A = this chain, B = another copy of it.
Amino acid sequence: MNNTISVDCVIFGFDFEKLNVLLVDRELKDENNGEELFSDLTLTGNHIFENESLENAAARVLFDLTGLENIYLKQFGAFCDPGRLKRPNDQAWLRASGRDPESRIISVGYYSLLATENVTLKWKGRNVKWYPVSEVKDLAFDHMVILKSALQALRRELLHEPIGFELLPEKFTLSQLQKLYEVVLDVELDKRNFRKKIARMKYLIALDEKQKGVAHKPARLYMFSREVYEKTRKEVLDFNI
């Protein structure tokens, strides 16, 4: 019973319109006739090596898939699916792939945040694509449970920590930031009230720079200052029971 622990990465990307998640189309074809045995979607995961930290394993999975390093990664839970690999589709895949059916017991979930704009993905031959989170209906194994848990954790985090910037390019407009909150939290926000609120975040730096090439009044660009954030961060203790 080897390799009982894996990490699964829920890689979120924002494209200014919707929240996406990176999924692997795990299609498998018959070696003889090329017939597609089945096709389904999974999160990206991998086993952890001996003497490798969980965090490292997650970063490795992300790097292997995208070639990106120093990406925001947050652990959001450990999962064990008693019914894992028990579903017909998964069993078919097991038979076809020759994997050990008992090879995965526990998986530790990490979500990571990317601006899709920033990413030129190196797929290394795997069939990987962005899918709008709102349209993902079914995933292999218990990955749907894991995805929902990741989304819940992301929402929670977004409400209390300045992690939205991880989903945006370095320079962004306030409307883009607002849209990000609206999309992730699935709410509509008033433009003026939103700006009043974020005006209090000192770590949001207004640049002397504007959007270019847009067919309307160009928006001012802003950036996030981690330095200012670290300095002005007060111990968050709202006591809003």
Contact = CB atoms under 8 A, between A and B. Distances in A.
Interface string A183-194: 001010100000
Interface stretch (A29-37, A77-85, A209-217): A77-85
A113 B238 CA distance: 22
Given A82-B51, A106-B106, A240 B159 contact: yes
Interface string A148-183: 000000000011101000000000000000000100
Contacts of A108: 78, 106
Given A54-B106, A80-B53, A5 B5 contact: yes
A205 interface: no
Contact of A75 (B78, B197, B238, B239): B78
A88 to B, nearest CB: 20
A16 to B, nearest CB: 19
B78 A54 contact: yes
Contacts of A5: 4-5, 105-106
B241 A159 contact: yes
- Among A51, A75, A159, the most chain B Cβ lie within 10 Å of the Cβ of A159
How many copies of the polypeptide does the oligomer hold? 2
Interface string A212-241: 000000000000000000000000011111
Interface string A29-57: 00000000000000000001011011000
A82 B106 contact: no
A239 B82 contact: no
A71 interface: no
A120 interface: no
Contacts of A181: 239, 241
User: Which 10 A-B residue pairs are closest in the complex by CB-CB distance?
Assistant: A78-B78, A78-B108, A54-B80, A5-B106, A4-B4, A53-B80, A53-B82, A54-B78, A197-B241, A4-B5
20 contacts: A1-B2, A1-B50, A5-B5, A5-B106, A50-B105, A51-B82, A53-B82, A54-B78, A54-B106, A75-B77, A78-B78, A106-B108, A158-B241, A159-B237, A159-B239, A159-B240, A159-B241, A160-B241, A197-B241, A238-B240
